[in-house]
Structure formats: structure tokens, C-alpha cells
Amino acid sequence: MEFLDAFPTTWLEFYLTYGCLSDDSNDYIMCRMCNRHINTLFGLSQINDTLLCEKIVNIAVGMKESNDCTSIFQELLVNYILQHENTVLHYLSKLRKGHQMEFWQFCWSTVTECNWKEVFWELYNRNKDAFPEQMEISRTAFNYFYNGINYPELLPHNEEEYRRRYEDKNFRYRFNDYMDWSDK
């Protein structure tokens, strides 16, 4: 539970933690650790499914492809959705439609075709009757964002604002009390 509490809660916190925003060597420590941290998050098995789902969905809402860390998160997210469809769709149904669209936008964003086309249609067909609104939003996001993203356009619009927030809140070191840094 301590790891879940320490892990970023929103896309902005995730970006500030793993975004490699400066030349500071500590930033690169977190970039190198992102794979391990993200795999640990998605692999938590002693945590209530609903709590873990809320954490994962809340991070994905508004997330933009920006580096390897977001790519890892995206790939594990799609697999997580397939393993926890009902929990994810039920939680999404409680969110505003705009937040649902931001979630699905990140989920289906690709620059090239991949096997997610089959994954999407499988998920859509299985859940369109039980979660019609969520599946319609997912379908719209899929139509616009699958094989239609230009990565350079995904950089933050106001990098200085992100840097200022990073320096003020210093999210990167939230893990210090919990994580074993022996492999840095």
C-alpha cells in the first residue's frame, strides 16, 4: 500500500517524476527506474482491485506520449484493461465524459498500426451492451487517435510552467522513503 500511495496520482505528477526535465543526474535516475516502478504498479496483487484501478485510470487521464516511460505505461494499461474490463469500465462510467475521452485518447494513441486494432474491437464488442456510453467514447477516441498521432506535437505547450511546478513541488523524490535505490 505504501508504494501505491507514493506513486504519482495524475499525469502531471507522472510527467514531473519520470519526464527527464533537466540535466540533473537525479532526473535520469527516475527515468531509468520508471520501467521497474511502472511494472511494480501494474503487478501489485495485494491491493484492492478498485483502488489500483482508480490510481491507474487517474494517471492515464490526459496522459500524453512523451518518452519511454509513457510508452511502457500505455502498453501495460491496455493489457490491464483487458484483464480488468469490468472494474475499469465501471470506474470510467463515474468520470466526466471529457475525462473518459482523455483516458481512451491516451490508451489508443499510436503513430503506426499495431495489434491494438483487434484488441479494441474485441473489447468494444464484448462491452458495448453493458457499457454503451463508455464504449462509444472509446470508439470515437480510437477513430481519431489510433495510427494518427504525431509525437513531436505531444510535447507540453508550456514547458516553462511544467519546469516551474517541478521545481516548486519536487515530485521526483517521493519514492526516497520507500524505494531501494541500490541499483542506481
Mean pLDDT of 133-149: 91
pLDDT at site 147: 79
Mean pLDDT of 159-181: 47
Nearest to 56 by CA among 38, 71, 82: 38
Record the pTM.
0.78
pLDDT tens-digit map of 87-137: 999 999 999 999 999 999 999 987 666 788 999 999 999 999 999 999 999
pLDDT tens-digit map of 6-41: 999 999 999 888 876 655 555 567 777 889 999 999
Q: Where are the domains of the chain?
A: 2-173
177-183 long-range contacts, Cβ below 8 Å, gap at least 24?
Answer: 177/6, 178/2, 178/3, 178/6, 179/6, 179/33, 179/37, 181/29
